[in-house]
Amino acid sequence: MSDDSAQLAVPARELLEKLIGCRSVTPKDGGALDLASQHLQAAGFACERLDCRGVANLYAQLNPSQQPALVFSGHVDVVPPGDDAAWSSPPFVATERDGNLYGRGACDMKAGVACMIAAACAYARNPESGSLALMLTSDEEGEAVSGTRHIVETLAGRGSRFAYGIIGEPSCARQIGDTIRIGRRGSLVAQIEFTGVQGHIAYPARIKNPIEALAAAICLLKKREFSAPEGLEPTHLTFVSVAADAGASNVVPRIARARLGIRNSIADRGADLMSWVEESLATFDCQCSCSWRTYSQPYLGERDGRLVKVLTKACESLHGCTPALSAGGGASDGQFLRRICDEMVEFGCVGESMHKVDEHVKIADLGALAATYLHCARSLLA
């Protein structure tokens, strides 16, 4: 373990334990941002609340007039824990077991927040010439309208811009340092409805079966293979629900419905995918309607920028691995932050347990992650 890792492990863990104790089910922060503000103000950061429509947001900055500027970004809200009885320990009580720290949000992403704050406070004791900032929200797991999006719009209105941005989402696959996210796929959802002719199954000439049309449509859409830029995840199409029932075993229903989710890479425009789906559905002998909702647009950042190079070297020297560059996973607040950052990545803890029962993070990873953030701040702002 490096000297920085050892020094940062204790404050990162102590802060994470307190954050897990905050019942911050989205969009509530449960007092987590007051806790963050206390630590950052004590370290010399100027803290500002940018709350919006009941959502708590915090913006903190050190040496705001200096350049270059680096911003750490994260969220303190969590998904609901589900049935508390299914957990091995209370979801909002940080519990150590087998070298892990358990609790809702431990992985996604209170560990990242705790490590960013620990690193920022350590950096503030001996800052470089640039400016370090943090933006934290309680609206990422929900609608994601009044959180980072609002902070970014506010800062953009002030003319603020950053050379570098790091989001502390759980990016790594198996160990700290094995993955850097340089982009994300977009997110599209379609509600599909086939309308046929209801009737008795003994008289097939008198009916038009929407279930069979829907089943054929699913097979047709799933046949398509997608490509993506080298090393990145391709577009992925998945049906997540199907419903059709006339209430009796001898009656074909009139309507069959399905919900389709698409995660599209930068290689596939959302508008093109929507047109392809609708044109494919129109080939079947049943009336069909399709309504869409776009949750996020795909983006791809710099592969060879200074931020990726500095972070890669940090992973190699601190963790002994060369990180893969990824643009997969679900939507994140990167879709907003990239508007005011010249270069941006996502880098955090191992994400295997996010949103699961008994969510957890390796205690040994906390000091390592905080040391990585501190290394990046010192290198990028020097």
For the stretch 215-254, pLDDT in tens is 999 999 999 999 887 778 899 999 999 999 999 999 999 9
Q: Work out the angle at residue 108's Cα, subtended by the Cα atoms of residues 230 and 372, and round it to the nearest 5 degrees.
A: 70
CA distance 76 to 57: 10
Q: Are 381 and 200 in contact (CB under 8 A)?
A: no
Instruction: State the pLDDT at residue 297.
Output: 87
Instruction: Report the pLDDT value the prediction gives residue 143, as an integer from 0 to 100.
Output: 87
- Calculate what percentage of the chain has a pLDDT beyond 90: 92
- In this prediction, residues 8-12 reach a mean pLDDT of 97
Mean pLDDT in the chain?
A: 96
Helix axes 32-42, 111-124, angle to 10 degrees: 20
140 is catalytic: yes
R_g over Cα of the chain: 24
Residue 315 has pLDDT above 90, yes or no: yes
List, for residues 31-58, the tens digit of each pLDDT value.
999 999 999 999 999 999 999 999 999 9
- Amino acid, res. 365: D
Task: Identify whether 225 is a catalytic site residue.
Answer: no
Q: Closest by alpha carbon to 108, among 61, 172, 57, 54?
A: 172
* Averaged pLDDT for residues 121-142: 95
User: What is the rounded distance in angstroms from the CA atom of residue 347 to the CA atom of residue 181?
Assistant: 7
- Distances in Å between the alpha carbon of 202 and those of 199, 207, 229, 245, 254? 9, 10, 52, 17, 16
Are the C-beta atoms of 378 and 321 separated by less than 8 Å?
A: no
d(CA 203, CA 303): 61
Q: State the average pLDDT over residues 2-17.
A: 95
Predicted confidence band at 2 (pLDDT cuts at 50, 70, 90)? confident
Catalytic residue among 17, 108, 140, 358: 140
Furthest-apart CA pair in the chain: how many Å? Answer: 82
Q: What global pTM score does this model have?
A: 0.89
Catalytic residue among 17, 77, 333, 358: 77
> How far apart are alpha carbons 68 and 1 in whole angstroms?
29
Is residue 1's pLDDT more than 70?
no
Return the closest-CA partner of residue 38 out of 54, 23, 58. 58
Q: Is 322 a residue whose pLDDT tops 80?
A: yes
The pLDDT score that the predictor gives to residue 233 is 86
The Cα-based distances of 56 to 59, 136, 337, 346 in angstroms read: 10, 9, 17, 22
Angle (CA) 239-353-137 rounded to 5° is: 90
Q: Residue 263, exposed/middle/buried by CB under 10 A (0-12, 13-18, 19+)?
A: buried
